[in-house]
Structure 1
Amino acid sequence: MAELYEIWQRAEASRRLDVLSGFIAMCVAGDDDARRRLAQLVAGADTALSASPPDLVVASEYLDELVWWADTDWTEHPYRPVEARPDEADRQTRDYAKDLRHAALPVCVRDEMGRIELSLEVRFPALCRQPGLDCRVRQDIFYVAGRAAMTLDLGHLEAAEREIRRMEQVGSVEPQESRCS
């Protein structure tokens, strides 16, 4: 689990680095000195994040420098990125973490994950489109599909397949008249 936490922390820092460096790069497009400074800051942060284990303290120092630079020079810029709300930041970080975790896996495991993910992407909407599906059953399908997606994110292929089978069992419950409004 320590490896997953490390990937999550690295993903959070990488997400912030990408957003800030992209914004600053746009703002300093014609200034060679500023572009060199930006390249040094980004390279320093990337080096810290690529270390094993990642040096999050050093990466944070580089990120703080980028934040300070953006706050000092472009506070009122209409496209100045703002910190995402916690739920949105977590969604974005989850995407980064999935990419980092995915890149570290062997090809055969990635292929198997792709097969399971495709199965989930096909079965989930098919189950939700069943006519006369009870609202609670639909909610249970959403819940179990979320669990299957989470287990895939964690790389637990057997658990993901088990959750997909469970989702299909939940969806095969006899349709009833909906009681949800």
Structure 2
Amino acid sequence: MAGLYEIWQRAEVSRRLDVLSGFIAMCVARDDDARRRLTQLVAGADAALSSSPPDLGVASEYLEELVWWADTEWADHPYRPVEARPDEADRQTRDYAKDLRHAALSAGVRDEMGGIELSLEVRFLALCRQPGLGCRIRQDIFYVAGRAAMALDLGHLEAAEREIRRMEQVGSVEPRESRCG
């Protein structure tokens, strides 16, 4: 399986490529030559990303050509996509990376991950619905649940299961009413 850094890089290029190519496709809808050019650029980038190993340099060159084209032709267009803020770009890239990683896993591993994800969600919701749960304990449950989700994103099933057990231990602490703030 590809390394996590490589998956992240592929996801980042794919995300930017999808957004920009969609915008350009809208702009060139009635221009056959421009549509052909766009098709060639996107096909080239897709081929580079799909090769084994992916050629991120070549895909990035195609992406940069799309950026240059959009900046040259439609810089002032009211719907020209702007680069997302770093936190939003990371969230979007994370979604792409999860899809790429998911596709690289065997069916058995995906099934096991699905079971762990379901277990995490059910146990998390059950813990959050406990009456009289103190604010600090609730925050700890959210934190540990986030760690379990992150472990799943990284493909560490054992770590995710360990964090789920830890979340249950945190939730079984004597509940006390307290205010956060």
User: What TM-score comes out, normalization by structure 1 length?
Assistant: 0.95
Q: Is the 8 A contact 1:6 1:53 kept in 2?
A: no
1:46 Cα deviation (Å)? 0.9
What secondary structure, in the 3-state scheme, does the structure 1 residue paired with 2:115 have? helix
**Post-superposition CA distance 1:128-169 (Å, at most 9, x none):** 222222121111111111111111111111111111111111
Query: Aligned equivalents of 2:55 and 2:144: distance in 1?
Result: 36
Match of 1:141 in 2: 141
Separation in structure 2 between the aligned mates of residue 144 and residue 47 of structure 1, nearest angstrom: 40
How many residues align structurally? Answer: 181
- Could you say which residue in structure 1 is the equivalent of 2:16? 16
Partner of 1:132: 132
- Quote the residue 1:84 is aligned against: 84
Kindly indicate whether residue 163 of structure 2 is the aligned counterpart of residue 160 of structure 1.
no
* Structure 1 residue 179: Cα displacement: 3.3
Q: Is 1:13–1:59's contact at 8 Å kept on the other side of the alignment?
A: yes
Q: What's the RMSD between the two structures over aligned residues?
A: 1.4
Deviations 1:93-140 (A, max 9, x none): 111111101111110110111111111122212212222221211111
Residue 44 of structure 1 deviates from its aligned partner by 1.0
Per-residue CA distance 1:4-26 (angstroms, 9 max, x = gap): 11111000000000000111111
Unpaired runs of at least 5, structure 2: none
Given the alignment of the two structures, is residue 56 of structure 1 paired with residue 56 of structure 2, yes or no?
Answer: yes
Identical-residue share of aligned pairs (%): 88
